[in-house]
C-alpha cells in the first residue's frame, strides 16, 4: 500500500485501506462493543453519598467567651487554616481505624482476615472508596462510594460526627497538659506571695512587689481558668451543611464510557495490526 506523507499525502491510500478492511473493522467494533457491554454489566455498581461540613474557627472558645479584650468571634466560619486542619483529621489513620472498626469494613469489602496483607488491602480499598476534598468555599466534602447505598450515606455521616470526637480528644489532651502547667505556676505564685506577705517589714518596695505579684497572679488565674474550661468543654467543631443521604443513582460504572472506550481501543489496535499485516504483505 503506497503512502506518502506531508503536503503530498495521498488520501486514496487511506480510503483504499478502509475499503479493503471495513468488514474486519466492523466485526471487531461490534464484538468489542458487545464484550465491553457484558463486562460493564458484570461490574457491581457503586453508589456515592456526600456530607459537607464547614470547620469552625479553631481559636479557643473559652477565651472568646471570658476575655472581653479578645476580638475574634468564635461563631465565625473557619479560615483556610481550619479547613486544612479538618482535611488532615478526616484523612488521618485514627479516622480510618475508627471507620473500619465501626463498620467492620474488612468483612464488608470481602477481605479475608487470614489472607495475605489484609491491612494493606483494607487501606487500599478504603482510600479508593472514601475521599475528602476542600470545596470552593472553604467547606470540606466527605465522599463515600459503596455497593450499598445506605452504607455509603452512613459512613459519610459517621465521619462527619467522628470529626467532632477526634477534635475534642486533641483539644482536651492539649488543654490537660496546659492546665497541669498553669495550675502549677499559679500554686507557685500563690506560695511566693504568701512568703513575701509573711516576712517582717512593711516597706514601700515590698508592698509594690506584692502588688505586682498579685496582678500577675490574677492574670495567671484567668488563663488557668480558661485552660480548665477548655479541658472539659465539649462543643461542635463544625457546621454540618449537608448530611449524606442514600443515592438513587449509581456513580460507577459509567457503562456508556466503558463501551465507547473498549470499542475504540479495540478498533485502534486492529487498525495497527492490519497496517503491520499490509506492510509485510507488500514486502
Q: Give, in degrees to the nearest 5, the angle at Cα 267 between 262 and 270.
A: 125
- Most confident residue range from 25-39, 94-108, 163-177, 259-273: 94-108
Mean pLDDT of 158-184: 81
The beta strands (E) that lie in 176-273 are given as 238-242, 250-252
Three-state DSSP class for residue 88 = helix
**Ordered structural domains, the chain, with CATH:** 1-43+253-283 (no CATH), 44-252 (3.30.1890)
Mean pLDDT of the chain: 81
Please, which residues have CB within 8 angstroms of residue 54's CB and are 6 or more apart in sequence? 77, 78, 138, 139, 140, 238, 239, 241
Q: In angstroms, how far apart are the furthest CA atoms of the chain?
A: 118
C-alpha dist (Å) from residue 16 to 9, 12, 24, 127, 282: 14, 6, 14, 50, 14
Rounded-to-integer distance, Cα 111 and Cα 211, Å: 69
Q: Tell me the pLDDT band of 283, cut-offs 50, 70 and 90.
A: low
Does pLDDT of 84 surpass 60?
yes
How far apart are the C-alpha atoms of 117 and 49, rounded to whole Å? 29
pLDDT digits (tens, 9 = 90+) for 192-238: 777 777 776 667 777 787 778 788 777 777 777 766 666 666 667 78
Task: Determine which helix (DSSP H) or strand (DSSP E) holds 47, and give its type and residue range.
Answer: strand 46-55
Whether the Cβ atoms of residue 237 and residue 164 lie closer than 8 Å to each other: yes
The pTM of this model reads 0.67
Spatial distance between the Cα atoms of 196 and 185, rounded to a whole number of angstroms: 17
Q: Is the pLDDT of residue 18 over 70?
A: yes
DSSP 78: P
Tens-digit pLDDT profile for residues 23-42: 888 899 999 989 988 887 77
pLDDT of residue 70: 45
In this prediction, residue 190 carries a pLDDT of 79
Using pLDDT thresholds of 50, 70 and 90, give the confidence band for residue 103: very high
List beta partners, residue 130.
144
Amino acid at each position: 500500500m503506497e503512502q506518502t506523507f506531508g503536503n503530498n499525502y495521498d488520501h486514496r491510500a487511506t480510503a483504499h485501506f478502509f475499503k479493503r478492511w471495513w468488514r474486519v473493522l466492523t466485526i471487531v467494533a461490534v464484538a468489542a462493543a458487545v464484550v465491553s457491554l457484558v463486562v460493564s454489566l458484570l461490574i457491581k455498581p457503586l453508589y456515592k453519598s456526600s456530607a459537607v461540613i464547614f470547620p469552625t474557627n479553631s481559636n479557643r472558645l473559652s477565651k472568646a467567651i471570658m476575655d472581653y479584650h479578645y476580638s475574634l468571634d468564635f461563631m465565625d466560619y473557619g479560615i483556610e487554616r481550619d479547613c486544612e486542619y479538618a482535611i488532615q483529621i478526616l484523612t488521618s489513620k485514627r479516622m480510618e481505624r475508627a471507620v473500619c472498626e465501626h463498620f467492620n469494613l474488612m468483612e464488608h469489602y470481602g477481605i479475608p482476615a487470614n489472607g495475605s496483607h489484609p491491612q494493606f488491602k483494607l487501606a487500599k480499598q478504603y482510600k479508593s472508596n472514601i475521599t475528602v476534598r476542600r470545596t470552593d468555599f472553604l467547606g470540606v466534602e466527605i465522599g463515600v462510594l459503596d455497593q450499598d447505598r445506605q452504607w455509603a450515606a452512613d459512613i459519610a455521616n459517621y465521619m462527619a460526627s467522628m470529626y467532632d470526637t477526634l477534635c475534642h480528644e486533641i483539644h482536651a489532651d492539649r488543654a490537660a497538659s496546659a492546665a497541669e502547667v498553669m495550675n502549677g505556676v499559679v500554686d507557685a505564685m500563690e506560695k511566693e506571695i504568701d512568703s513575701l506577705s509573711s516576712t517582717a517589714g512593711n516597706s514601700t518596695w515590698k508592698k509594690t512587689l506584692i502588688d505586682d505579684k498579685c496582678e500577675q497572679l490574677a492574670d495567671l488565674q484567668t488563663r488557668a481558668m480558661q485552660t480548665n474550661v477548655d479541658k472539659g468543654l465539649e462543643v461542635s467543631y463544625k457546621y454540618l451543611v449537608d448530611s449524606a443521604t442514600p443515592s438513587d443513582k449509581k456513580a460507577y460504572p459509567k457503562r456508556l464510557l466503558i463501551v465507547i472506550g473498549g470499542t475504540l481501543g479495540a478498533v485502534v489496535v486492529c487498525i495497527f495490526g492490519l497496517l503491520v499485516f499490509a506492510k509485510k504483505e507488500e514486502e
